[in-house]
Amino acid sequence: MATATSTDSCDLEQLTIHGLHALVFGFGYKVGIVDFFLKTQEPCTAEDISQGLGLKLRYVQEWLGTMAAIRIVKVHEDGKFSLPYEPGTIKFCGVVAKCLQALGEVWPELEKAVTGTGPQGYGYTPKILQLVDEFAVVKLQKEWFQKLLYPVLELKAEGMHTVLDLGCGSGRITRHLATMYPKCSIHGVDVDQGSIDRAKRELISSGLTNVQYSCIDGGKLPREWTEKFDFVFLISVLHDACDVDAILDEVKRVLKHDGYCAATDPGVSSNTKDLIDDSIAMFHMPFSLFSCLPRSLMESSSVGYGVGWGYQRKKTAIENHGFHVVQVGDIDVNTVQERVVFTK
Ligand SMILES: C[S@@+](CC[C@H](N)C(=O)[O-])C[C@H]1O[C@@H](n2cnc3c(N)ncnc32)[C@H](O)[C@@H]1O
């Protein structure tokens, strides 16, 4: 039997050391040290950071020393420090590293859920929801919309379309679409009341008039919405949902006969062997273990999706509901990817 050798396995010692440093980097991001570097853009001293942020000097020095040891922070000849990375990379890595705190907080819940007699799963914590929102900001990059959402909206001639953002969270993506497509009327729904309350507050300050939000379970949409929508978006929803079948049944009912639905989820394969060395799987699967999978297992009837459910099983579930998967762009529909577009 083949056994893993040191050349085909991850360096476990490096991994644990890097994990510890990611935690320290995330902490520095949370308390503002990382932002301080971004704002000053010049090498600075521990004293500059301590005074600028009102942080105790000794802690700042220890943070800098920890980050210097692993070569995240650069130490200059004159003893000053800098953070030699692109601002976009620093922000993205800061948000990700800060997640370690939120994941650590649900660790006891995961420990209970994983044991045979423990609960099936658990919901989002406020911190995890905040992270989902922060990721939406990171995701709200032109390229992501250009690649995944705008081409779907272009499947129908421009017009006064009705759009449902099912599982909208605090509605950042809904509001972005509403800004880009002012003729469209967009309804964002989410089963989480706190997220909808936040979405409504943000909507008031946005001044947009073509968006509304409601707290509704996507598996139980209003009766009067039959054949109402030209487009339905399920952005990072299905792999987190307890009852994908109920949601897909409802999408089928509320979508117009010539409407399109797009479901995006982390683009990983359903086959475990294909996950090896896959950067998308490496990034998303830890979040899934601590949050998406337990969220999808919250109800007693849940089967448990999570990111590991994967592209092929998601596509099959969609097709089993009688939808036709359509190719949008040049990636073949049988290739593992983030988005599935389908019609009735
Ligand atoms: C990972 S978040 C994504 C939020 C948002 N679409 C985004 O990309 O920023 C998944 C969202 O789906 C919502 N959700 C899960 N199951 C749902 C259901 N049955 N009906 C409505 N919303 C649901 C969750 O409450 C959560 O806000």
Over the stretch 269-282, which tens digit does the pLDDT of each residue have? 999 999 999 999 99
CA distance between the termini of the chain: 48
CATH 3.40.50.150 domain span(s) along the chain:
155-271+300-343
Those residues with Cβ within 8 angstroms of residue 314's Cβ, 6 or more apart along the chain or in another chain: 238, 239, 263, 265, 270, 340
Instruction: For ligand 1, atom 15, name the residue with the nearest CA.
Output: 241
The pLDDT assigned to 257 comes to 97
Tell me the C-alpha distance between 291 and 185, whole Å.
32
User: By the 8 A CB rule, do 343 and 327 touch?
Assistant: no
Confidence of residue 197 (pLDDT cuts 50, 70, 90): very high
For the cut 60, the answer to whether the pLDDT of residue 333 exceeds it is yes
pLDDT at 7 over 70: no
pLDDT per position as a tens digit, 93-110: 998 998 999 999 999 999
Model confidence at 1, in pLDDT bands (50, 70, 90)?
very low
Q: Which of 134, 135, 187, 191 to mutate to test the pocket of ligand 1 (most atoms within 8 A of CB)?
A: 191
Query: What is the pTM assigned to this prediction?
Result: 0.92
Fold of the domain spanning 13-93: Arc Repressor Mutant, subunit A (1.10.10)
Average pLDDT over residues 17-23: 97
Q: What is the mean pLDDT of the chain?
A: 94
- Residue 8's pLDDT is 83
Question: At the top level of CATH, which class does the domain 155-271+300-343 belong to?
Answer: alpha beta
User: What number of other Cβ atoms are within 10 A of residue 74's Cβ?
Assistant: 14
* CATH 1.10.10.10 domain extents, the chain: 13-93
153 pLDDT higher than 70: yes
Percent of the chain with pLDDT over 90: 87
Q: How far is the CA of 49 from the centre of ligand 1 (A)?
A: 39
Confidence tier at 131 by pLDDT (50, 70, 90): confident
Q: How does pLDDT run across 198-253, given as a tens digit for each residue?
A: 999 999 999 999 999 999 999 999 999 999 999 999 999 999 999 999 999 999 99
241 CA: nearest ligand 1 atom: 16
User: Which stretch of 73-82, 139-148, 277-286 has the lowest confidence by average pLDDT?
Assistant: 139-148
pLDDT (0 to 100) of residue 2: 47
Backbone angles phi, psi at 185, to 5 degrees: -105, 120
Nearest residue by C-alpha to atom 3 in ligand 1: 236
If pLDDT is split at 50, 70 and 90, which confidence band does 132 have?
Answer: confident
Q: Which numbered atom of ligand 1 lies nearest the CA of 165?
A: 6
Question: Per-residue pLDDT averaged across 320-339, rounded?
Answer: 97
* 148 close to 339: Cβ distance less than 8 angstroms: yes
By mean pLDDT, which of 298-312, 313-327, 330-344 is the weakest?
Answer: 298-312
